[in-house]
Amino acid sequence: MECEFPTINANSEEIQTILQKYKNIAIVGASPNPQKDSHKVTKYMIEAGYNVFPIYPKEDEILGQKVYRSLLEIPHKVDIVVVFRKPQAVLAVAEAAIKRGDVDVLWTQLGIVNNEAAKLAEENGIKVVQNHCIKIEHARYFG
């Protein structure tokens, strides 16, 4: 998949509302490595008071949070799914979010755009934020 420009995306006002309204975040691709952006974002969002559910294939715990192997394993309500994966992986994440039936927002981090996944999510009532860092956006409005 080539780099895409996001054709479906929340505006600044919608992003601010999302960050105020929703508190349960699944982070797909959360890393145990403190040098990785996904680790830094996970840590920041926990410290900002969000309930964070890391999704990672190997660890049992990251930053004191139980780690899940997939979005479908999380036994709690998930408001926002943040994706730290390659753009081609986002479609499967969107499909899992739809299958859960309780996800409100599909959020892809900086540099990650998949308009096919965004369209599918939006068609199924899920708000979409693409190519934005949730940590940067939170700090912009509430930091």
51 assigned to some structural domain: yes
2 assigned to some structural domain: no
Q: What whole-number percentage of the chain has pLDDT above 70?
A: 99
Pairing mode of beta strands 61-62, 65-66: antiparallel
- CATH code: domain of residue 127: 3.40.50.720
Please state, in angstroms and rounded to a whole number, the distance separating the CA atoms of residues 13 and 55. Answer: 28
Q: Using one digit for the tens of pLDDT, what is the confidence trace for 77-91?
A: 999 999 999 999 999
Q: Using one digit for the tens of pLDDT, what is the confidence trace for 9-24?
A: 999 999 999 999 999 9
Query: Do residues 107 and 81 lie in contact, with contact meaning Cβ atoms separated by under 8 Å?
Result: yes
- For the chain, the average pLDDT equals 96
Q: Using one digit for the tens of pLDDT, what is the confidence trace for 93-117?
A: 999 999 999 999 999 999 999 999 9
Q: How many domains does the chain have?
A: 1
4 assigned to some structural domain: no
94 assigned to some structural domain: yes
Q: Please give the full DSSP string across 37-88, using - where no structure is assigned.
A: HHHHHHHHHHHTT-EEEEE-SS-SEETTEE-BSSGGG--S---EEEE-S-GG
7 assigned to some structural domain: no
Domain that holds residue 21: 12-142
Under the banding of pLDDT at 50, 70 and 90, the label for residue 1 is very low
32 assigned to some structural domain: yes
pLDDT at 65 over 50: yes
